[in-house]
Homo-oligomer: A and B are copies of this chain.
Amino acid sequence: MVITPKTRITGNRAAMTDTAFREVKDRLRVELVDLQQRCRAAAAFPIIIVVSGVQGAGGVDTLNLLNTWMDPRWIHTHAVDAPSDEERERPLFWRYWRSLPAAGNIGLYLDGWYGDAVAAHCRGHTTAAAFAQHLKRIAAFERTLADNGALIVKLWLNLDKNGQRRKVDEHRVDPVFGFRASDTAWPQSAPYDTFTAVAAKSRRATSTTQSPWHVIDGTDDNYRRASVLTILRDAIKAHRKSWRKKSKAAAKDIKHARKHDKKKGLLKTNRSGALAKLDLSKTMGPADYARAFRTCQTQLYELQKAARAVGLSSVIAFEGADAAGKGGAIRRLTYSLSARNYRVVPIAAPNDDERAHHYLWRFWRHVGRAGHMILFDRTWYGRVLVERVEHLITKEAWERSYSEINDFEAQLSEHGAVVLKFWLQIDPHEQLRRFKEREETPYKKWKITADDWRNRAKWDYYEAAVNDMVAATSTKHAPWHLIPANDKRYARIMIMNCVIEALERALHEQKAVAKTRASRRPKE
């Protein structure tokens, strides 16, 4: 609760006279607009504002007024409606990811990502455990955004039961603003007691230092508005300060790490990981390959058709040393797929729109609709590979990324998608041979750049990073498949077989689920 000298407190209700409000309002507005402009000009971090609360407490009014008080051109307002079919065909959080503001902008959300969770539990559609799980996901979502620099301000507008009864019928003209949209377009998902109990649980589970809930009494409009402005101003001020401090510290860390590399050689760790155990001598003869290839193709063709028919999506990630044969493997894999069912997404350096967002944002954007297979040629693992090895981010940042990535993949998997990850490994001699071959073949020359030679010089450090990555992100729902790729034929067939197995299993499980659901369906 925000107490100003002009606030009258009666019980747990607070009020402010029109005159008192007029006095503070204009000063606060000027400060806020000024802060908004500074944030926009710096484009350092996005601002995410969640407005929620009980009906009648002024949620819709708060949204409208923030758009009026600040510069609406840099505010994207989202009142979360029923999901579109494009949204329903992806994990729940896809719609929130796609709506996130770019650095320097404000995303203003009515109920934010809480609406779904609270409504479903109020209506008895989710168990206590599922609700708790949903809240954990929300907390993880907010943590990953905040860790990446976002400012998150969450406002809960409160009314007690009697207060709400009075407010809901109240349709008076506002004395200060002359006009006010009422909250009737913002229905509550359950009666007061149920709703507030469930909502309180959601707030308790998601109030963190980085993204705390602010509870504001909504009985008095003036008081509520002044509180919103004050909280926002203070939060932006504080965040700018801490952001600058953190950026400085990060820059220092990175500089230090680079210096250390130069002096003592790159930091080597974890040389005894999964890669060491890989048998790179595996090969496959041309005749065996031709036979296996033919069989795999037919199977893949049938499986993708079946997957498309039932709406089974897949996300297939390809990583590997330079010249390990990712592109060739992808082409062989897609050879027998129908082009309508898959899409190859090449990942290079982010463009400026992508740089203005969380690093996972651009991968979320590419998540496909039901029944599609998305093949990533290089992936979100760049975060813990090149960005780590080249010290583009701090150690703390790439270490944190493991769990963020696991959470991303878990969401894909929970929504029913097949998630497969391939690491293609070759040895340094084979890489050198392929580099030279590329340089000598006219139509392959474009494939080899100075970056490739630079990365090659850091072979050991990439190996350490890969070992760490595999250890930290091999999960049940999204395991790493390490592919010995010195022999291209062997690697390609191994990858095709992995995909076949995964699709077969998923289709089988989906049928099993459908069967169980059918037998459990209550009589109507």
Which positions in A face B, CB cutoff 8 Å? 30, 33-34, 37, 41, 60, 63-64, 66-68, 71-77, 79, 84-86, 108, 110, 178-179, 181, 185, 293-294, 297-298, 301, 327, 330-331, 334-340, 343-346, 351-353, 377, 442-443, 446
Contacts and interface: CB of A to CB of B under 8 A. Distances in A.
A266 B298 CA distance: 67
A343 B77 contact: yes
B64 A338 contact: yes
A86 B82 CA distance: 12
Nearest to A297: B179
A443 B60 contact: no
Contacts of A60: 338-340
B339 A108 contact: yes
Q: Interface centre among A74, A85, A345, by most B CB within 10 Å?
A: A85
A338 B72 contact: no
Given A68-B331, A72-B331, A72-B334, A178 B34 contact: no
Contacts of A63: 338-340
12 contacts: A30-B443, A60-B338, A60-B339, A66-B339, A68-B334, A73-B330, A76-B343, A110-B339, A179-B336, A181-B338, A185-B338, A351-B351
The 9 residue pairs across chains A and B that have the minimum distance between CB atoms: A79-B340, A73-B346, A63-B339, A77-B339, A72-B344, A179-B297, A37-B446, A67-B339, A84-B86
A448 to B, nearest CB: 12
Copies in the complex: 2
Contact of A327 (B41, B73, B77): B73
Contacts of A79: 339-340
Nearest to A82: B85
Contacts of A334: 67-68, 72
Contact of A352 (B108, B340, B352): B352
Contacts of A340: 60, 63, 77, 79, 110, 185
Given A73-B346, A352-B353, 5 more contacts: A41-B446, A67-B334, A85-B85, A110-B340, A181-B336
Nearest to A375: B72
A26 to B, nearest CB: 11
Contact of A71 (B41, B71, B301, B327): B327
